[in-house]
Amino acid sequence: MSAQAAPVLNARGLSKVYGNLVALADADFAVRPGEVRALIGSNGAGKSTLVKILTGAIVPTGGRVEIGGEPVPLGDPLGMIRRGVACIYQHSNLAPAMSVLDNIFLGRQPTGRFGIVDTRRQRREAAALLARHGIEIALDAPVGTLPTVKQKEVEILKALALDARVILMDEPTAWLASADVARLHATIRALRQRGVAIVYISHVLDEIFAVCDTVTIMRDGRVVAESQLAETDRAQVVQLMVGETLARETVAAARQQRRPRGTGEIRLRVRDLGRRGVFGGVSFDLHAGEILCLTGLIGSKRTELVRCIFGSDRFDAGTIEIDGRAVSPRSPVEGIASGIGFVPEDRHREGLMLDMTVTDNLVMATLDRHRRGPLLSLAGMARAGRRAIDDLSVRPPGGGTAVKLLSGGNQQKVLVGKWLALGPRILILDEPTVGVDIGAKAEIYAILRREREKGAAILMVSSDLEEVMTVADRIGVMVSGRLSAVHDAGSVGMDEIVREIGGGTP
Amino acid sequence: MTTDRSKGRRDFLKAVAIGSTAVAGAAAGMFGTPGLPATGFGVTRARAEGTRYRMAFIQWQPHTVPAAWSKGIEEVLTPQQVIDYELLDGQNKVEVQVSLMDTLISQGASVIFLQPIDSVALAPSIAKAKRAGISVITLNIDATEPHASHVEMNHYYGAMDIAKAMGDAMGGKGKVAILNAPPGIIIRDQRTNGFVEGMKQHHPGIQIVADQVADWDRKKAQDVLNTILAANPDLGGAYGVNDSMALGAVDVAKEKGLLGKFVVFGNDGETAALESIEAGELTGTQYTDVYQQGRLAAAAATVLATGGVEAGAFAQQSRLLMPYVIATKANAGSIQPSQRW
Amino acid sequence: MTAPADRRGTVRARPAPMRHLAPNALPVAMAVAVAVFALLEPAFLSIDNLVGIARQVAIVGIMAVCMTFVIMTGGVDLSVGPVLALAGLAAFFALDGGHPLPVVLLAGLAVGAAVGLANGLTVAVLQLPPIIVTLAMLSIARGTALIVGGPEQHLIRNEPAYSFIGTGSVLGLPFSVYVFAAVAGLMILVQRRTPLGLLVAAIGDNERAAYLSGHRIRITKTVVYVICGTGAALAGIIQSSQVHTALATYGPFGTELDVIAAVVLGGTSIMGGNGSVARTVLGVFFLGILNNGMNILNVPIDIQLIAKGAIIVVALSVAARRA
Amino acid sequence: MTIRFASAALVLFFAATIAFFSVSAPRFATASTVENLMSSFSFVAILAMGQAFPLLVRGIDLSIGAIVGLVGMVVFDLSLIFQVPGWIILPAALLVGTAAGALNGALVVCLRLQPFIATLATLAAYRGLTYAVSGRQLVPGLTTTPIRDPWIVGIETYLDVGRWTGLSTFVNMPWLPLSFVIMLGVFVVLQAALSSTRFGRDVYATGGNHEAARLAGIPIGTVTVCAYSISGFCAAIAALIMVARFTTATEALGTGMELSSIAAAVIGGVSLAGGVGAMFGPAVGAFLLGTILIGLTLQGVPQFVQQIITGAILLAAVGYDRLLWLRRERRPAAGAGPA
């Protein structure tokens, strides 16, 4: 499109630092009217941070943002919205008890005298909107009662109703069925016709090549490349996205150490596991002393799968055997009892007690071991904590510091350490390196390999292909609720995997 | 407290007269009450006709005094076999009392015993009751709306007499503290004002150094008096606006070994208080035979219910004024066990 | 509750407002209060009065210390008032039945534990809002107390052993103060040295994570309410022994709010999360000092209430600012 | 959204209760009982509706009862001490109540205090203020002087609707208390504000998804303050009705009302989690509680047992709401039609 037109949104030298984690480093980002710009990069590459700055949710440590050539105050969500920057967030941004209609017009209902809402006009506009974008939805249904897909549509409608100049879409298709994706893309093209600038954040290369004009590729908090998609091909993009950031020897080391099927002893056997409406027919074996990585798109139900194995969710079909014993854990308590450790995806929501100390968090899963009669042996806990801190080289090394003061990487190490303390026979990790700086990543990989050597069976969910290629002994690809294939890591190339992942959404 | 003193006394004599005859009459089931047209054989007739009367007592909140009243009332009503009686709880809330009044009115009670939380607040409901032909008998707190009858142990004059007795006990000089109730119920105001007024009149030499709220509560009274004593080590006495608080003061005096030296007066005269007096701990309290007061009210009620007197007819209500004594070690012994509540 | 449900980092890191209160604002406020009272009325600092303060806060103190865990788990217990009354009555009837002291105490405490258990199960298992559950329990327990005890005062006469609990004194300190100290000490120990204490903190901090760490959340929550009920019962026993009376209307409306105020002043967020028993004790004494000081200065009740409200607001908003 | 499943069930339960007492309780189904119900619980309903607003924005107002006391005492003073004419007193009273509510809101918004704590503090403060300004203490003589101002006492009048409509020729119609009419008025206005004004949308949004509301540019602070002001305003109206009914005000007026109003609101399906509820439920909830109290009294059930039953019903109400919620959780996809 009009690549020469002046950028409507222009960010220069943005950076954001949490504690000692650099989430975003001197990033430039611009998008022009009528341009659909893909923003891609593995998890924790800094995309969400950039988005948060552009929506005003957070204040950058440095840098400036111009809209239509005007420099704008940062950290002011309303200002951004008023200036025409709308965002469709990954998480729901709706008032569940309110009707679709009210959500679309949230905070800006057309009003007549005495602030009486002009519902007729509201309906008219909404109807027009629906017609224009060919979306079917019951305007009076409370959003809370709608399925997630529909809720996404409401979010999109909300943004569209703002007739924004720039729309940021953060993983807009993560929860959409392929048909809906196609429709969304149609919508996007329509918007492009009307000169709206769109920032399209996604992991799905197919989608990107299908709908985007240009691409900005980020890695580890930096913008590593910008280009016209017309002039690039998948391989290049993936290459840029994945990069060679890990020191070659680490990768090399990792690769030659690969031990598909570990000791050969089957630790975990999953057969036709399913949960109605979520995933189904999943079968695989996990051996002692191997690392099996489940990769796929966000929303391909990998998390849901491993939750069921751990016991925090229920499955309603298939069987799970551990060491040949059939189990059906109905709660984490039982999962742990059968030797499973589980590092959840969102360490803040589900993993750590942020206000509590490193030691407390480290012993959280193994309290009973530190009981002396009715009391806890603080000394014992401290010792255990100290040992873990040294093994995992947590920085700062103080066991008494509150976890929330640690960097993402160290927080993650603490979370992993909590489960290692259990000496799990099976360790499940869900996106263990999201938002973790590169150094910590390497350390975590090292830890995992060490556990593998000790004979633990490790099941890891990751969307970061580079990571998968580095640590996996075997790779399973999940596509919309099905385990499409399991490869020996050695015998499969990244592009192949990429294709399989993308292959999920034709 | 609106009436002047002498009248109060006269009412008091009249009251005793009415009261005793009424009790006698009620017990015998026959009537001849001055001031009321003699209909004769009210209860007997009722029994014959099989008519039943509904009576209820709305108390301000569960407490020893209304409980004793209720006992006394039942003593008189039960043997007559034609009266259904129930005790209702005002939860120390005006609105609850008013609502209960309405309920009783629509229920068609024939007499309502009422211990109003406030003289004015209940007046409209009393008027309503009268319109509905229901006689209302107020206990201890009079209402601004004239009604059938008011049976009271006067708080204002009682408190004045307490002030006098207390001053005498303290030799007319020294410092005293008031352990008070939280505002919101009229008894509190009447007693406090009476006490203050009494001290002014009889013992201007005595100084009220503290007036603190102890929520009717013995424990709070202990705490509060403890504190007050710290500030005024030379405190000579304390007046508890009810006996529980007075007994709290006694507890403190005991603990500090001030027994005998420290003058404590209470109000109401419940059993615990009398015992404490006899034990030489509590100096005195305003005692009334509350059972008797209940009986008196019940007797009057019977008359009103069965005597065929139109409730609306009470332009000028009868005031049955209970005799009270300031019970001290000297006279407490003369109070019969059967009179203790 | 207003923390936006956003992604990694930013806002969730905001500490619960109350947290910073305890270490600085509260002691400062206490010091100021003490200084003011002492200046206006030297007798405030007399040994007698200080002992008096300790004795006065004992009952609310015990309840507050025992409610801290409940509030840390994001709950609240409005039913402590009637429980206090019920326990007193239970103890009285046990005494009346001529049972030995241990049985008597057990009877009292059992009542509290039972009510607590009912609260806990309803909150933890049925997951109903604590404020409503305990509000309902407030009127249920009060009703029961009035049915059981009636309006009469049940005098507890010549029961030296029982009376000692509330009125006896050891080495010049009232026994009830020792009880308070013991309970406080015990709860501090529980918080710092037992799995329960750690677990309560964990639940308040991040219930989901605690669950995923393989802990039985429901049991813990129930236990916490049982502790609270038992604490209220103990308070009831002490009170009934202090006033030689058991009465169904003891622990009137407002008791529960005093207790909650003490806990919150102690720096525990009413929304749950970070909290500390030790700091609750501070909060208890702060309120105790305010009451005592204003009584000793013979401040009229109206000013007392206004001042109390204002001071709570100031103290806590200072804390909120710090956060 | 205005009338949810919960509310529908509530109405059924209400009807059932009335039916039950009509057959079981002597003299329950009479005009006078209906009058009693309307005049004794209209102000509770108003308080419940007021309380609903703080709850809707995920707050709570524990001071609502204390505000009733304060306003009552202000009316008492103005009328009896300063002899101010009623037509001035009425607006003044409403003003005081609203201001007190606004202060609550300000504490919550500006000082970032937990609503529970902020209003707990003002609960004490307002009650203290009531004592401080109490004309009963300042001028003891007034304790026995009823308020006679027609403007105020006029609130406690009964309208013989029966005769106007001529219905009373067929049935014994209850007279309609003005307070009930006022309650209806408040209901209509507030419900309209909630369901059809911009403000109402903002209230639901603020309570339903705080972050979304903020990002949507809704002035959350203002909305919150308004919510608390409304609760204060309702408290003032309730106070006026009570004063008119009692022709006086005591320092203890409104004690415990905070809890009963919360109870009524929650029974009426207002969620403590915010964003869910309407005016209809709380109003019905208040009258439901009233019906039960009156009915049980007429049945001769002891007061103490009544307390227990009331508590049980409160539990049942929240339990039922929980049940609905669980059911909705079970099948998130379903129910995607208009609710």
Tokens read off for A385? 């904590």
Q: Are D267 and D55 in contact (CB under 8 A)?
A: no
Candidates B339, B276, B290; CA nearest to B57 is B290
pLDDT in tens, A7-43: 889 999 999 887 767 788 888 999 999 899 998 876 6
Give residues 19 to 78 of D whose Cβ lies within 8 Å of B: 26-27, 30, 32-33, 35-36, 39-41, 43
- At residue D166's C-alpha, the angle toward residues D163 and D171, to 5°, is 85
Task: Name every chain B residue with its beta carbon within 8 A of the beta carbon of C292.
Answer: 223, 227
Contacts of D255 in chain B (CB under 8 A): 92-93, 184
Pairs of residues, one from chain A and one from chain C, whose beta carbons lie less than 8 Å apart: 94
The least confident of B161-175, C139-153, C307-321 is: C307-321
How many residues does this entry show for chain B?
Answer: 341
Tally: H helices and E strands in chain D: 15, 2
B328 to chain D, any CB pair closer than 8 A? The answer is no
Nearest residue of C to residue D262, measured between CA atoms:
C132
Work out the minimum CA distance from B155 to partner chain D, whole angstroms. 15
Give the single-character DSSP code of C25.
Answer: I
Pick D216's closest partner by Cβ from A107, A111, A142.
A107
B133 touches chain D (CB under 8 A): no
Helix residue spans in A243-397 (DSSP H): 248-256, 302-310, 332-337, 358-363, 378-392
Task: Verify whether the Cβ–Cβ distance B120 to D247 is below 8 Å.
Answer: yes
Q: Inspect the interface and report whether the beta carbons of C195 and A348 lie closer than 8 Å.
A: no
Distance CA A373, CA A365 (A): 18
Q: Which residue has the tokens 């206006």?
A: C40
Cis status of the peptide bond prior to A374, with omega within 30 of 0: no
Nearest to C128 among D116, D310, D322 (CB): D322
d(CA C15, CA C35): 31
Three-state secondary-structure class, residue A487: strand
Among B105, B107, B183, beta carbon nearest to D251: B183
Angle at A358 between CA A353 and CA A359, to 5 degrees: 110
B316: burial class by Cβ within 10 Å (0-12, 13-18, 19+)? exposed
Look up the ipTM and state it.
0.84
In chain B, beta strands by DSSP E: 53-59, 83-89, 111-114, 135-139, 149-152, 174-180, 206-213, 235-240, 263-268, 284-287, 318-321, 325-328
- Provide mean pLDDT across the span C98-103: 92
In chain A, residues with a C-beta closer than 8 Å to the C-beta of D338 are 138, 140-141
Whether chain C has a CB inside 8 Å of the CB on B115: the answer is no
- Give me the pLDDT at residue C288, please: 94
Q: pLDDT in tens for each of the 341 residues of chain B?
A: 444 444 444 444 344 444 444 444 444 433 334 444 444 456 666 666 777 888 999 998 888 889 899 999 999 998 888 888 988 988 889 999 999 999 998 888 889 999 999 889 999 999 999 888 888 999 988 888 888 888 888 889 999 999 999 999 999 899 999 999 988 888 888 899 999 999 999 999 999 999 999 988 999 999 999 999 999 999 999 999 999 999 999 999 988 888 888 999 999 888 889 999 999 999 999 998 889 889 988 988 888 887 666 655 655 677 888 888 899 988 888 888 888 88
Query: Given a contact as 3+ CB pairs under 8 Å, which chains touch B?
Result: C, D
Q: Is C97 near chain B, with CB under 8 Å?
A: no
Interface test with C, best of D61, D73, D103, D120 (most C CBs within 10 A): D120
CB contact under 8 A, C135 and D263: yes
Contact predicate C160/C244, CB 8 Å: no
Instruction: Give the distance from residue D126's alpha carbon to the nearest chain C alpha carbon, in angstroms.
Output: 7
Q: Which of C13, C194, C214 sits opposite A336 (nearest CB)?
A: C214
- CB pair distance less than 8 Å for C140 and D312: yes
Domain spans in chain C, listed from the N-terminal domain onward = 21-35+47-322
CA distance B275 to A187: 91
Are B210 and C298 in contact (CB < 8 Å)? Answer: yes
Nearest CA in chain D to B105: D32
Q: What is the pLDDT of residue C12?
A: 35
**Among the partner residues D198, D215, D217, nearest to A93 by beta-carbon distance:** D215
Residues of C within 8 A of D211 (CB-CB) are 4-6
CA A267 to CA A289: how far, in whole Å? 9
- D2-59 pLDDT, tens digit per residue, is 345 557 788 888 999 999 999 988 888 888 889 889 999 999 999 999 999 999 999 9
Domains and CATH numbers, chain A: 9-242 (3.40.50.300), 248-339+424-503 (3.40.50.300)
Domain D5-330 has CATH 1.10.3910: no
Least confident of C117-121, D102-106, D301-305: D301-305
Task: Tell me the domain boundaries of chain D.
Answer: 5-330
Chain C 225-244, residues with CB within 8 Å of chain B CB atoms: 239, 242-244
Chain C residues 234-273 within an 8 A CB cutoff of chain D: 253, 257, 260-261, 264, 269-271
Contact B335, B286 (CB under 8 A): no
Specify the fold of C21-35+47-322. Answer: ABC transporter involved in vitamin B12 uptake, BtuC (1.10.3470)
Nearest beta carbon to residue B106 from set D27, D146, D300: D27
The partner residues of A24 in beta bridges, in order of sequence, read A16
Give which of D36, D127, D148, D253 to mutate to test B binding, by max B Cβ within 10 Å: D36
The CA distance from A414 to the nearest CA of chain D, in Å, is 30
Q: Is A79 on the interface with D (CB under 8 A)?
A: no
Distance between D329 CA and the closest CA of chain A, angstroms? 9
pLDDT at D41: 94
CA A392/CA A211 separation, integer angstroms: 43
C298 and B233 in contact by Cβ < 8 A? no
Edge-to-edge strands of the sheet including B284-287? B206-213, B174-180, B235-240, B263-268, B284-287, B325-328
B106 and D297 within 8 Å at the Cβ level: the answer is no
Q: Which two tokens stand for residue C305?
A: 């209430």
Cβ neighbours of D315 in C, within 8 Å: 122, 128, 132-133, 136
Using a CB–CB cutoff of 8 Å, tell me whether D326 touches chain A: no
The domains located in chain B, with CATH, are 5-153+289-323 (3.40.50.2300), 155-287 (3.40.50.2300)
Task: List C residues 130-149 in contact with D (Cβ-Cβ < 8 A).
Answer: 131-133, 135-140, 142-144, 146-147
Give the pLDDT score at B35.
40
Enumerate the residues of chain B whose CB falls inside 8 A of the CB of residue C46: 230
Residue A387, helix vs strand vs coil: helix
Give the containing element (helix H, strand E) for C100: none
| A402: enclosing H helix or E strand | none
C157 touches chain A (CB under 8 A): no
For residue A338, give the nearest of A184, A457, A166 by alpha carbon: A457
Mean pLDDT per 10-residue interval, chain A, length 506 residues: 72 84 86 90 76 86 88 84 81 82 84 83 87 80 77 78 82 67 80 86 78 87 86 74 54 68 86 88 92 82 90 90 90 90 87 89 89 87 91 84 83 91 91 76 86 90 82 88 86 78 52
- Residues A75, A59: contact at Cβ < 8 Å? yes
Residue D129 to residue C140, Cβ atoms within 8 A = no
What digits encode the pLDDT tens for the residues A146-202?
A: 776 677 778 878 877 877 788 888 877 765 666 667 777 887 888 788 788 999 987
Nearest to A97 among D1, D217, D336 (CB): D1
Which chain B residues have a beta carbon less than 8 Å from that of D35?
Answer: 102, 106
Question: Which of A356, A361, A415 is the best mutation test for C, with the most CBs of C within 10 A?
Answer: A356
From the list A98, A108, A119, the residue facing D1 with the nearest CB is A98
Task: Report the candidate in D102, D121, D106 with the shortest Cα–Cα distance to residue D231.
Answer: D102
